[in-house]
Amino acid sequence: MSKVFDLWNEVGGAFGPSGREDAVREAIAAIAGEYIDDITTDALGNLICRKKGSGKKLLFAAHMDSIGVVATWIDDKGFIRFSQVGGLFKGDLINITVRFANGTRGVISYEEKTPFKDLTMDNLFIDIGAKDKADAEQYVQIGDFAVFEAPRFEQNGVLCGPYLDNRIGCVTLLLAMEQLAEAETENDLYFVFTSQEEVGLRGAGAAAFSVEPDIAIAVDVTDTGDLPERKTPMAVDMGKGPAVKVMDRSVICTPAVCAALEQAGADCGVATQREILQFGGTDTAALQKTRAGVQVGAVSIPTRYIHSPSEMCAVSDVEGAAKLLARFAVGQN
């Protein structure tokens, strides 16, 4: 197994739906501690790691929260209704396993009388195998969050499993931090692991406000255009290198920052692709709109089946992204 897989297994296995990032934060802090000078947590739960310098302030951000579900109501038979935490697609949810913070597991199923194409979240429920409502309440209470549970594996240079979005971005930052730990640079480096991205980019803006960076770079997953019969063409393939974001639904990146990221890739032998994501947004947008505005860019890991329990990406794209970011961090004067 690759080092990327080992780190993803550790950071990706931690329970961390939006607003409940504590376990992820602890897992990351335990690894990050040896690479940096200072580590703090703010009121929103952002983890801010700093490698001090007197030069340019560069902020690198990866969100640590994941999508999930929250229990809203339990019926007399003990079936649990739920609402979504972040963007869920019903086709990804049928017959999958979810896990609550206390370890309770359940299966998501649906009301069969509703035609499949008409199903909404309201027709789905979680079955924890309870005898009745009182029995279910022993294990799950209203307001409890749950996350996808599925195996994580590495095969032929590819990672697969839940929550590459965005624990693989967190892993990318950790790898870049390791490479930068002994680097000769005067730049003031901030590695921020943000909270609540999946529910509306809520943590990143506050973190960037307090850091006041000269340039901010978000690291997250992006879609690919390499699957059979895709509806929307996209010039990003899994395994062809990290993608430098041009724009998505939430942001148009700063041209000079895009160019500098591509140059950093060229300087260290990492091939890059250009990303234009026609749906979805990232922390990049919140970083850009902080204070009087911040110059931003984003580096994305091309990922298939995003927001399903079986996301897929290439190890080499993650390694390339980390190398590129480390190069970018020392190259900005």
Q: Choose between 18 and 187: whose C-beta lies nearer to Co ion.
A: 18
Please identify, among the stretches 20-28, 164-172, 201-209, 233-241, the one whose residues bind Co ion according to the rule CB under 5 A.
164-172
Under rule CB under 5 A, residue 283 binds Zn ion:
no
Under rule CB under 5 A, residue 220 binds Zn ion:
yes
d(CA 320, CA 111): 45
The minimum distance between CB 8 and Zn ion, in angstroms, equals 14
Among Zn ion, Co ion, none, partner that 220 touches (CB below 5 to 8 angstroms by kind): Zn ion
Nearest residue to Co ion, using CB? Answer: 165
State the Cα torsion 314-318-319-325 to the nearest 10°. 150
Under rule CB under 5 A, residue 165 binds Co ion:
yes
Q: Choose between 220 and 262: whose C-beta lies nearer to Zn ion.
A: 220
Q: Choose between 104 and 300: whose C-beta lies nearer to Zn ion.
A: 300
**Distant-in-sequence, close-in-space partners of 240: CB < 8 Å, separation ≥ 6:** 271, 273, 302, 317
Please identify, among the stretches 2-10, 151-159, 215-223, 271-279, the one whose residues bind Zn ion according to the rule CB under 5 A.
215-223
DSSP 92-155: GTTT-EEEETTS-EEEEEE-TTS-GGG--GGGEEEE---SSHHHHHTT--TT-EEEEE---EEE
**Residue whose pair of structure tokens reads 């931003």 in the numeric block:** 296
Under rule CB under 5 A, residue 311 binds Co ion:
no
d(CA 297, CA 313): 21
The minimum distance between CB 165 and Zn ion, in angstroms, equals 4
Under rule CB under 5 A, residue 65 binds Co ion:
no
The minimum distance between CB 198 and Co ion, in angstroms, equals 5
The minimum distance between CB 66 and Zn ion, in angstroms, equals 8
CB 229 within 8 A of CB 309: no
Q: Which of residues 111-130 bind Co ion (CB under 5 A)?
A: none
User: Counting Cβ atoms within 10 Å, is residue 31 exposed (0-12), middle (13-18) or buried (19+)?
Assistant: middle
Q: Is 34 a catalytic residue?
A: no
Q: Name the nearest CA neighbour of 36 among 48, 24, 45.
A: 48
Please identify, among the stretches 34-42, 162-170, 260-268, 314-322, the one whose residues bind Zn ion according to the rule CB under 5 A.
162-170
The minimum distance between CB 178 and Zn ion, in angstroms, equals 22
Under rule CB under 5 A, residue 165 binds Zn ion:
yes
d(CA 222, CA 78): 38
Q: How far is CA 178 from CA 16, 34, 181, in A?
A: 23, 9, 5
The active-site residue, picked from 26, 34, 197, 311, is: 197
Cis before 333? omega within 30: no
Q: Choose between 17 and 265: whose C-beta lies nearer to Co ion.
A: 17
Among Zn ion, Co ion, none, partner that 224 touches (CB below 5 to 8 angstroms by kind): none
Quote the radius of gyration of the chain (alpha carbons, Å): 20
d(CA 157, CA 317): 10
CB 291 within 8 A of CB 209: yes
Q: Which of 46, 66, 166, 273 binds Zn ion (CB under 5 A)?
A: 166
Under rule CB under 5 A, residue 317 binds Co ion:
no
Under rule CB under 5 A, residue 262 binds Co ion:
no
Footprint of Co ion (CB under 5 A) = 165
